[in-house]
Amino acid sequence: MFGHPDEGKEKQLYIIDFGILGTQRYMSIHAHTQMQQSRRDDLESIGYMLAYFVKGHLPWENVDAPTKPERNHKIGHIKMKTTPESLVGSGPSCLTKYLNYVKGLHFEQTPN
């Protein structure tokens, strides 16, 4: 649940794992490069969703390419070049810290 207490109404947020049916907007860098994914990739995707909620847009939105694989490649390349600091900008520093932590996780590492 989230929402401002003064609004008098709480809003619900549902996060669903669609696996390979997920959108390129939120998929992890490893998903773009067709590497095997783990918990770190789910956490990275959540980070991208949170960044979108905070900023209202992501740097890789509206990427144009003639084919879906080319678009996937372009988006993945932008994600690889985008640092958590530049992604979050003036947003909450805890989100930058979270994304840096997630990007530092190893494949089989259990997140804290």
Express each pLDDT in 39-51 by its tens digit. Answer: 899 899 999 999 9
Task: Give the chain's domain count.
Answer: 1
The pLDDT score that the predictor gives to residue 79 is: 96
Answer yes or no: is 66 within a domain.
Answer: yes
Q: How far is CA 80 from CA 10, 58, 84, in A?
A: 35, 13, 10
Can you tell me the distance from the alpha carbon of 81 to that of 74, in angstroms, rounded to the nearest whole number? 11
Specify the pTM.
0.81
The list of the chain residues with pLDDT below 70 reads 1-10, 13-22
pLDDT in tens, 73-82: 999 999 999 9
Question: Is 7 part of a structural domain of the chain?
Answer: no
Domain that holds residue 29: 22-103
Q: Does some domain include residue 1?
A: no
CATH number at residue 39: 1.10.510.10
